[in-house]
Structure 1
């Protein structure tokens, strides 16, 4: 089996689609992306785990496939490809592979090494930091994906054994992540939990990274409130894993919070510059600038916003559960 970066010419070719979107054409899908066509018995929370199941499956679902492809660059995708190309070696590293994929896609802390592996992959794909930067400038997007993936595949055994030889690629971002995590867990973030609504309210003086947000919050819905001199920045989002087609995790419903936005807009003072808006993914509810291009600053106090959001989530959960 060999890796080829996905291009439209591969659509009709029989292949294995590793962590790919559902529109990559013919083949065996091993992906957790929404709408995936992964066989039910191979489905898993992250794509690399589906690959591990596939290489261990006695029915040999990979037999006859000479190509593995992927249509985007991320850690789970690279690890999935490597697993399929190294079916003898990969099971030995199954825990490390899954941990790194979860850090990457779910933005959840698993182990220090897993985060270091993910940050290394991200750095190689970063035009400003990649050791391949000069080589990539004259290549097409697909050629860049092929080159970056091949570079990482060649180095993954060493990276899985010990990320420290790749220190220059991950150390700065890792230090920043650990510093913010320690600050947040040390009291930098005020956390209020509403377990029955799976809601966490985080109040802070700075915008949080997803990894920090998901580490300090217990809920699957997270209302982040940033205090600023100009007012409050609000956004309500979901844990990252809720975007994916997972198997083992309980998933709360995702709601359109239109009624909450309408009510908050009614309460918002005329002096505010912006408006409350909604989306079907992230942010599910936020106070946006007038042009919707960035966050605005609300003049409503959290004591008004948080109970209203909680009440609307409870109402929509009740309706979803069949309430009348």
Structure 2
């Protein structure tokens, strides 16, 4: 196994032939280990997460991996970081493979089976990564607000976390002060999701889960039980709603087929005809990492949209929950007629389907 050096993405552009790129795309890289849609990840290493691809590569040790000198990524997030760290710490990574896979999945997809014996440890590690990132640097998608490029600014995050993570991975209590506040907030959310006050309506043919629960919750609690589904309609008390395509439909999932994303503008127009408050329904573009449909008071920044639902304003609608759910179900049932789930949709196919829908 080669001894890799982390190389910031800006420098890696000049060393592509000797670089393994994780959770990103770098033309002419020695090896790509990314779950991004249409990334040139070799078939044997495709995985739901980029960290999973890195772990698969460790098991096979392909020639491209053994011939490389550097590893890089063009942004910092939980999945990408775990993938980079894995290649730099192969023995320790393989010892903790199951846990690292859970950390990457929770970080990217916000999904986790809470009955797993390692679930709480995975949550603690993700909360530690989140807390230290915000404390020492800037929040996810926050680089533009600092007038910096993410591929350049994130190098400072990698430098710090690559030296600090192993110790906390092996003894999460060392990071307790940092992870405890978010961990406790998520655990309260999990309790709410598991209580009799919450009802989940599943529509597997649409890949949709409708969650009825009194108050907005952290994503890790809200999306935790939605594994295998790609759209979540959250219906909170006082007729507050958000609908979101999960990140599972932005990447190429290896484990299961998915339906393609649909543009949500036709549904927005339908809901605005029903809405009697002064607010308007809005939606994000189909290529956003997690497109939302919501009743808008003001435009949310990318940082706010990435933050948890309980950390942003969600406004009351005039539409009753049962009517809203029925409209959402009608929309997706109508628009997905004749479309079968499969793997590896291209962005061109998704855009073409959306253009046909809006004609």
Instruction: Quote the residue 2:329 is aligned against.
Output: 310
Aligned residues: 308
Deviation at 1:298, TM superposition (A): 1.9
The alpha carbon displacement at 1:318 in A equals 0.8
State whether residues 22 and 71 of structure 2, in contact with CA within 8 Å, keep that contact through their aligned partners in structure 1. Answer: no
| Aligned partner (choices 31, 40, 44) of residue 37 of structure 1 | 40
TM-superposed deviation, 1:23: 4.9
2:14 corresponds to which residue? 12
Name the SS for the 2:253 alignment partner. Answer: coil
Whether 2:260 is the aligned partner of 1:241: answer no
Once the two structures are superposed, residues 52-109 of structure 1 have per-residue CA deviations (whole angstroms, 9 ceiling, x without a partner) of 2222225332122111112211222222122212233322221111111111111112
1:212 is paired with a residue whose SS is helix
SS at match of 2:14: coil
Structure with the greater alpha carbon radius of gyration: 1
Q: Which has the higher contact order (CA 8 A, sep 6+)?
A: 2
Q: Secondary structure of the residue that 2:282 maps to in structure 1?
A: strand
Q: Secondary structure at the match of 1:55?
A: helix
SS at match of 1:200: strand
Q: Is the 8 A contact 2:12 2:19 kept in 1?
A: no
Question: 2:185 is matched with which residue: 156, 176, 179?
Answer: 176
TM-score norm. by structure 1 comes to 0.84
In the alignment, what sits opposite 2:260? 253
2:176 maps to which residue?
Answer: 167
Q: How does 1:121-200 map to 2 (within 5 A)?
A: 121-127=129-135, 145-200=154-209
Q: Shift of the alpha carbon at 1:39?
A: 1.7
Q: Could you tell me whether the CA contact under 8 Å between 1:18 and 1:80 is conserved in 2?
A: no
For the Cα contact (< 8 Å) 2:78–2:104, is it kept in 1?
yes
Deviation for aligned residue 1:167 = 0.8
Correspondence 1:114 to 2:122: yes
Q: Flag structure 2 segments of 5+ consecutive residues without an equivalent.
A: 114-118, 139-145, 301-312, 342-359
DSSP-derived class of the 1:32 partner? coil
Query: Displacement of 1:321 after TM fit?
Result: 4.1
The equivalent of 1:297 in structure 2 is: 316
Would you say the 8 A contact 2:185–2:218 is kept in 1?
no
CA contact (8 A) 1:189 1:204 kept: yes
Comparing 297-306 with 120-129, greater Cα deviation is found at 120-129
> Could you report, residue by residue, the CA deviation over 1:90-131 in whole angstroms, capped at 9, with x for unpaired residues?
22221111111111111112511111111122222113699x
